[in-house]
């Protein structure tokens, strides 16, 4: 797993944002290391039946898809959620092996690294957010860092409940 303990003296803003997002992504994948497919489908929290390791990886993958493809690029989306089933990306994760979910998440991250490298951080999203404003790429990166880091905390809790593993 990539570590960011040693802070280079001259990181520019783009490097800082992309490094932190990659670190958060790597942490999510690390939290799933050595989990069986059955463990990845385990929902140990009685009030959160959809909160599984696989469900969270699927969610993170689709959240990035939404923000980069649908909001930033303005593309029509084929995200799995619907108005009637807003958490479907977490529910359908049970239909896929964890390795596939992790691989798709990693492949997508590579595509989005290239997308970010090709655009200025001040570039506005083509599609507005709920209040009608067009966020910029910088905001999207910050949001994805926050979103991924928050769900890494959930993965910490799940992993500890599943097999007692803690750390990193």
The alpha helices in the chain, defined as continuous H runs, are: 13-31, 37-40, 53-65, 88-91, 98-117, 137-163
Average pLDDT, integer, range 106-133: 97
Q: Is the pLDDT of residue 72 over 90?
A: yes
pLDDT band (50, 70, 90) for residue 11: confident
**Entry pTM:** 0.93
CATH no. of 13-163 = 1.20.120.450
CB 104 within 8 A of CB 24: no
The secondary structure of residue 136, as a DSSP letter, is B
């Amino acid at each position: 797993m990539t570590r960011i303990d040693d802070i280079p003296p001259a990181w520019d803003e783009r490097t800082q944002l992309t490094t932190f997002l990659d670190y958060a992504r790597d942490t999510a994948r690390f939290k799933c290391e050595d989990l069986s497919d059955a463990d990845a489908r385990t929902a140990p929290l009685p009030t959160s039946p959809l909160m599984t390791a696989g469900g969270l990886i699927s969610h993170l993958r689709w959240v990035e898809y939404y923000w980069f493809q649908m909001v930033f690029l303005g593309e029509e989306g084929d995200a799995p959620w619907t108005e009637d089933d807003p958490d479907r990306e977490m529910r359908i994760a049970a239909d896929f092996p964890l390795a596939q979910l992790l691989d798709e998440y990693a492949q997508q991250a590579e595509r989005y690294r290239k997308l970010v490298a090709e655009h200025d951080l001040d570039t506005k999203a083509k599609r507005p957010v709920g209040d009608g404003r067009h966020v910029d790429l910088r905001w999207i990166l910050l949001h994805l860092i926050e979103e991924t880091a928050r769900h890494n905390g959930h993965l910490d809790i799940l992993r500890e409940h599943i097999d007692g593993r803690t750390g990193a």
